[in-house]
Structure 1
Amino acid sequence: MSRPAFFMHPRGIFLGLGLLLAALASGAVIFSGARDKQAVAKSSDRPNAVAALGRIEPESEIINLGAGMSPDRVETLLVARGDAVRKGQALGYLGGYAEQITQKAVLEAQLKEATLRRSTELTLNQQKVLSAETHKRQILEVSPLRIASQEATIASLDAKLANDKDILNSQTQLYDKGIQSRRLREDQQALVTQGEANVASARAQLAQLKQQFEVDKVDADVQIDLARAQLERSVAEFPIASLEAQVAKADATARRMTLVAPVDGRILNIKVKPGEDVGTGPILVMGDTDRMRAVAEVYETDIGRVSVGQTATIASRALQRPLTGKVVRIGNMVYKNDVLNVDPAARADARVVEVWIELDDAGPTVRLTNLTVDVVINTTETSPAVARAASP
């Protein structure tokens, strides 16, 4: 039989090959689109197992580190993608960080100066209070002694005056009898007069000492009150509390402008680079990749067959061998995946419940966050350890 002329022509041969390749590609797409549904449909054929797609993620979940203040820009990043970090480690700074640190340094210097000045003033005024109290104590101790001494002097003068008067009386009697001379009597009279003047002067001095004692006591109290008032003013004069509050505020602002690792983990991705503006989205993505787990997205129609403690097998072409694990938690919400989701584990037209699976050996998944995996949960087997923990 002779071949049609169409296929004998070179252009016809190329056209035929093109149609054949297009048919094969269309079949591959149809097969790929149906493969997931066929894989999940197998679970209905296996009453002792539930199949689902899933993903690998850190037990800490994926942490999106954002800015504490917005709008701003990233000034510096201290880490790169893949770096291991420790909890509390500084990962980067926003644009206003340097300014806040400078402002904090200025406020701390002002606080230091104010604290030193207040300390000096406090010491000086405390010494004034001490000096005033010492002066009052001196008045209370010394003035009574001076008064007592003056009273003793008066008593001595009184005694001498009384003796001189006795002698004068005797001399007067002798003078009247003509036995004593007038000169001796007049001399004795002068002594009595002088003694009376001395006693009067001593009494006036005693009154002055007593009056001065009362005045000194009042003045000492006034000086003490004045010194204490100056001491209290020196405490309130310097704005120590206000400066401390401003330093704390500047420090808090600087911390909000610092990206800090909330957990031990690894930097998975950098969303915003130095110099770029910060929006409402994350700057860094991190997670504790030392402890990985699988999250299976089980169809809502199959979730009733899944329970905590059941064993599971996790497989992917990226893994050299299937991994095993056990169900440790079942989600409480049914949701529909968004077909536009950028998560590589996302699926379209799926109403699923998340099931968390603890891996027996998570080592092969340390650097495979968000890896899409095939999960098969054995609904007839329960991990003994989990079963014992779940039992009352």
Structure 2
Amino acid sequence: MGLLLAALASGAVIFSGARDKQAVAKSSDRPNAVAALGRIEPESEIINLGAGMSPDRVETLLVARGDAVRKGQALGYLGGYAEQITQKAVLEAQLKEATLRRSTELTLNQQKVLSAETHKRQILEVSPLRIASQEATIASLDAKLANDKDILNSQTQLYDKGIQSRRLREDQQALVTQGEANVASARAQLAQLKQQFEVDKVDADVQIDLARAQLERSVAEFPIASLEAQVAKADATARRMTLVAPVDGRILNIKVKPGEDVGTGPILVMGDTDRMRAVAEVYETDIGRVSVGQTATIASRALQRPLTGKVVRIGNMVYKNDVLNVDPAARADARVVEVWIELDDAGPTVRLTNLTVDVVINTTETSPAVARAASP
């Protein structure tokens, strides 16, 4: 702690009113600390919300500068949003109608398939019974014909002996002739039943195949999949025309107002100001002295008191400095590495996004919590 007090005491030039002479003390004059300019920003970083598609114009904004917003909240709409919503509604209505019609056609054709299958089952069950009945009829006629022929033979023998009359023999002959005709007719009818049975079986299979083909056609006839794809496309386009908050946060600035054309820049600027941090731009020649866990002090004339924090992340790239140094002797093209500092009390910085601050990183003192985490 003595080293920290010594560093702060030696860095009094940063926090004093002499800032117009020198914004940040030279690190070479501070062996136990690294001094740098920095800025205050949300932990979410500053988020620039632009248009998902261009060219377009801003139709409606639902928020004002300073409003708190929640993740997923609609912040505004571009010019084509209403048209896309209407188009989506039309496509959804067409999809609903097509779905209903297809359902009706499917039900009808399923009933046709069921009817054809029932007809085939009837053929397979009833026709064999008719054939069996006809075969039984033929057997009965054959038996009667055989009996009539036997009687005819007996009467013929009696007639030849002069015992039987010719009239009785001729009557019996007529019965035999009629019986033979009945048997022939019954056999012809049996052949017809068998042939019809085979034809009906083929026809039943054809009717089933036809009904199933109509069922498949009714499925393919209605463009359900393409309508669903069009609805999804219209919905995606409408979402692209909607400005949506990617995180919980606050609207920091409005770049484009309703009615103005959207350019390549942002429409809204936002960030999660409930969680603020400092970003120090450390000279590349000093970055080797900085490590995660070191304590830091952040000061500005806009702050009533200096704030404290700890280094939580060190950048991996060297940039040209972005923070404006008010010292006319300072290098304008300095090469720096960004160092992220978590503030112990970020409350005073909630409404000071992009505030330029002076940062002193104590290179000899590490945050106790980080030290404990790093110890074996």
If the length of structure 2 is used for normalisation, what is the TM-score? 0.90
Per-residue deviation, 1:149: 0.5
Task: Please report the RMSD computed on the Cα atoms of aligned residues, expressed in angstroms.
Answer: 7.0
Per-residue deviation, 1:99: 0.5
Is 1:273 the counterpart of 2:257? The answer is yes
Matches within 5 A, 1:40-55: 40-55=24-39
Counterpart CA distance in 2 for 1:304 and 1:21 is 22
Per-residue deviation, 1:180: 2.0
Aligned pair in 2 of structure 1 residues 28, 178: CA closer, same or farther (>3 Å)? closer
Q: Mean Cα displacement is larger for which, 152-161 or 171-180? A: 171-180
CA-to-aligned-CA distance 1:219-249 (integer Å, 9 cap, x gap): 1111111111111111111111111111111
Counterpart CA distance in 2 for 1:182 and 1:61 is 130
Q: Mean Cα displacement is larger for which, 57-66 or 301-310? A: 301-310
**What's the counterpart of residue 345 of structure 2?**
361
CA contact (8 A) 1:345 1:372 kept: no
Per-residue deviation, 1:79: 1.1
Aligned pair in 2 of structure 1 residues 305, 358: CA closer, same or farther (>3 Å)? same
Counterpart CA distance in 2 for 1:388 and 1:137 is 84
Aligned pair in 2 of structure 1 residues 319, 345: CA closer, same or farther (>3 Å)? farther
Aligned counterpart in structure 1 of residue 81 of structure 2, from 85, 93, 97: 97
Per-residue deviation, 1:334: 2.4
CA contact (8 A) 1:344 1:370 kept: no
CA contact (8 A) 1:338 1:346 kept: no
Per-residue deviation, 1:24: 30
**What's the counterpart of residue 139 of structure 2?**
155
Aligned residues: percent identity?
100
Per-residue deviation, 1:31: 15
Aligned pair in 2 of structure 1 residues 170, 24: CA closer, same or farther (>3 Å)? closer
Per-residue deviation, 1:350: 3.4
CA-to-aligned-CA distance 1:250-304 (integer Å, 9 cap, x gap): 1111111111111111111111111000000000001111111011122223222
Aligned pair in 2 of structure 1 residues 165, 55: CA closer, same or farther (>3 Å)? same
CA contact (8 A) 2:34 2:363 kept: yes
Aligned pair in 2 of structure 1 residues 153, 28: CA closer, same or farther (>3 Å)? closer
Q: SS of 2:23's equivalent?
A: helix
Per-residue deviation, 1:34: 8.3
CA contact (8 A) 1:57 1:294 kept: yes
Counterpart CA distance in 2 for 1:317 and 1:290 is 22
Per-residue deviation, 1:138: 0.9
Matches within 5 A, 1:1-392: 35=19, 38-337=22-321, 348-390=332-374
CA contact (8 A) 1:86 1:261 kept: yes
CA contact (8 A) 2:74 2:244 kept: yes
Q: SS of 2:51's equivalent?
A: coil
If the length of structure 1 is used for normalisation, what is the TM-score? 0.87
Aligned pair in 2 of structure 1 residues 366, 341: CA closer, same or farther (>3 Å)? same
Per-residue deviation, 1:178: 2.2
CA-to-aligned-CA distance 1:57-106 (integer Å, 9 cap, x gap): 11110000000000100001111111111111111110000011111111
Per-residue deviation, 1:179: 2.1
CA contact (8 A) 1:135 1:220 kept: yes
Per-residue deviation, 1:208: 0.5
Aligned pair in 2 of structure 1 residues 378, 342: CA closer, same or farther (>3 Å)? closer
Counterpart CA distance in 2 for 1:155 and 1:345 is 130
CA contact (8 A) 2:15 2:299 kept: no
Q: Mean Cα displacement is larger for which, 119-128 or 94-103? A: 119-128
The number of equivalent residue pairs is 376
Aligned pair in 2 of structure 1 residues 24, 84: CA closer, same or farther (>3 Å)? closer
Counterpart CA distance in 2 for 1:333 and 1:143 is 90
Per-residue deviation, 1:183: 2.0
Per-residue deviation, 1:18: 49
Aligned pair in 2 of structure 1 residues 25, 311: CA closer, same or farther (>3 Å)? closer
CA-to-aligned-CA distance 1:91-150 (integer Å, 9 cap, x gap): 111000001111111111111111111111111111111111111111111111100110
Aligned pair in 2 of structure 1 residues 30, 89: CA closer, same or farther (>3 Å)? closer
Q: SS of 1:124's equivalent?
A: helix
Aligned pair in 2 of structure 1 residues 296, 36: CA closer, same or farther (>3 Å)? farther
Q: SS of 1:132's equivalent?
A: helix
Counterpart CA distance in 1 for 2:14 and 2:57 is 46
Counterpart CA distance in 2 for 1:235 and 1:367 is 60
Counterpart CA distance in 2 for 1:313 and 1:160 is 127
Counterpart CA distance in 1 for 2:197 and 2:182 is 22
CA-to-aligned-CA distance 1:187-219 (integer Å, 9 cap, x gap): 211211111111111001001001101111111
Q: Mean Cα displacement is larger for which, 301-310 or 353-362? A: 301-310
CA contact (8 A) 1:312 1:376 kept: yes
Aligned pair in 2 of structure 1 residues 147, 89: CA closer, same or farther (>3 Å)? same
Counterpart CA distance in 2 for 1:43 and 1:240 is 70
Q: SS of 2:354's equivalent?
A: coil
Aligned pair in 2 of structure 1 residues 379, 74: CA closer, same or farther (>3 Å)? same
Q: SS of 1:334's equivalent?
A: strand
Per-residue deviation, 1:185: 1.7
Aligned pair in 2 of structure 1 residues 178, 322: CA closer, same or farther (>3 Å)? same
CA contact (8 A) 1:294 1:356 kept: yes
Aligned pair in 2 of structure 1 residues 213, 342: CA closer, same or farther (>3 Å)? farther
Q: Mean Cα displacement is larger for which, 119-128 or 267-276? A: 119-128
Q: Mean Cα displacement is larger for which, 285-294 or 38-47? A: 38-47
Unaligned runs of 5+ in 2: none
Aligned pair in 2 of structure 1 residues 329, 79: CA closer, same or farther (>3 Å)? same
Counterpart CA distance in 2 for 1:280 and 1:180 is 127
Counterpart CA distance in 2 for 1:184 and 1:19 is 152
Per-residue deviation, 1:338: 5.8
Counterpart CA distance in 2 for 1:343 and 1:170 is 150
CA contact (8 A) 2:4 2:362 kept: no
CA contact (8 A) 1:337 1:347 kept: no
CA contact (8 A) 2:320 2:334 kept: yes
Aligned pair in 2 of structure 1 residues 20, 390: CA closer, same or farther (>3 Å)? closer
